[in-house]
Chains A and B, each alone.
Chain A
Amino acid sequence: MDNVVISSKNATLLEVLDRVLDKGVVISGDIVISVANVDLVYLGLKVLLSSVETMEGMRGAPMSGANEEPT
């Protein structure tokens, strides 16, 4: 059996995208790109983000951490 562990440094772009685009703390910065609510439509590894919203002046809006959205 080959080693099962791939260090995250050598991880595929897919693995990184799967986290960076979809997870992590979402807060209301000055400009919040609500990648949280974006439906990710991937075409091969070409990633299209279908609805990127830029919200300004939303301080105080409810926020969430790791988002779990059913597909």
Chain B
Amino acid sequence: MDKREGNRQNNLSMCIYLYCVTDKMPSLERIEKDFGAKVYSVSWNNLYAVVGSVPEDEFSKENLKKNLGDMEWLETRVRIHEGVIEGVMKNACVIPFKLATLFNTEDNLKAMLEEYSLDIKTNLRDLEGKEEWGVKIYLSMEMLKDALLKQDEGLSAIDTEICSASAGKAFFLKKKKEGLLSTIINERINGYGQDSFERLSKQSIRSCINKILPKEVTERQEDMILNAAFLIEKEGVSSFVAVVDSLKMQYHESGLFFDCTGPWPPYNFVSFQSSAI
């Protein structure tokens, strides 16, 4: 009997999975109900780490690699990670941690809270009353080309020339038109992206530009041309969204599509300065 118990414990060796840290006592019943996952908090000196218990086995070096490639496992983990943090975020300012930050013991976790308490407090103070929002801009090349061919005078002028040109000359004019078109397209994409980012940044306290994700990832027909995140005062969210709306209308005919999402935990705006010395 004892032996079996021991074996079972070995098989189900658990470790502590850290979701986020906050400075308000989090209420976790709701989150537990929503996710069916056991969540609890470990506190040190008025800081609360919201954690769960996960099988160590799932996160071992070999298994994690396998599991991260398993869409079902990944989606479940990622949704719980996000869901728990969003649940805590409803009533408190949070510092989100990266997926799969693990501790062996509560003491080690508390030691981390102690070690980084200054960073944690600084971040929480900076983030109080603010929300992260994301804007991704996608471009339909077809729509942009159509719009440019209608609007751009240089291009129309070449078109007129082509109509009355000899076959040989028309060939070169077409080449010239293609070159001009691709130059204009590049200029426009940069211009639209920059204009959008600047106007949205003005509505925010901080902003950052992230990696453009390729079509294989986005599974959209349009190309992503901007992937940005913004930290916004809660009171400023409606004016931020109004700017997104007006950009959307302004650039719709040029083939731009805006995906605006939020509020997110401030993943893009947390940073710990000090490293343990």
Contacts and interface: CB of A to CB of B under 8 A. Distances in A.
Interface of A: 1, 4-9, 11, 13-27, 29-33, 35-36, 42-49, 52-54, 59-66, 68-69, 71
13 contacts: A1-B248, A6-B260, A8-B86, A13-B78, A15-B259, A21-B98, A25-B272, A29-B103, A33-B59, A44-B216, A46-B71, A66-B269, A66-B270
Contact of A27 (B112, B136, B268): B112
A19 B134 CA distance: 10
B10 interface: no
B245 interface: yes
Q: Which of A7, A27, A47 has the most CB of B within 10 A?
A: A27
Contacts of A17: 74, 78
B211 A65 contact: no
B interface, size bucket: 35 or more
Interface stretch (B22-30, B60-68, B161-169, B178-186): B60-68
B64 A33 contact: yes
Given A8-B82, A35-B100, 17 more contacts: A15-B134, A16-B78, A17-B74, A19-B265, A24-B96, A25-B97, A26-B98, A29-B108, A31-B15, A31-B104, A32-B102, A43-B216, A44-B217, A49-B68, A52-B68, A65-B270, A69-B211
B258 A4 contact: yes
Contacts of B272: 25, 27, 63-65
Contact of B268 (A4, A46, A47, A66): A66
Interface in B64-92: 64-65, 68-69, 71, 74-75, 78-79, 81-82, 86
Contacts of A46: 69, 71
A58 B214 CA distance: 33
Contacts of A31: 15, 59, 102-104
A5 B261 contact: yes
Interface string B253-277: 0000011111111011111100110
B147 interface: no
Contacts of A32: 101-102
Contact of A23 (B104, B249, B267): B267
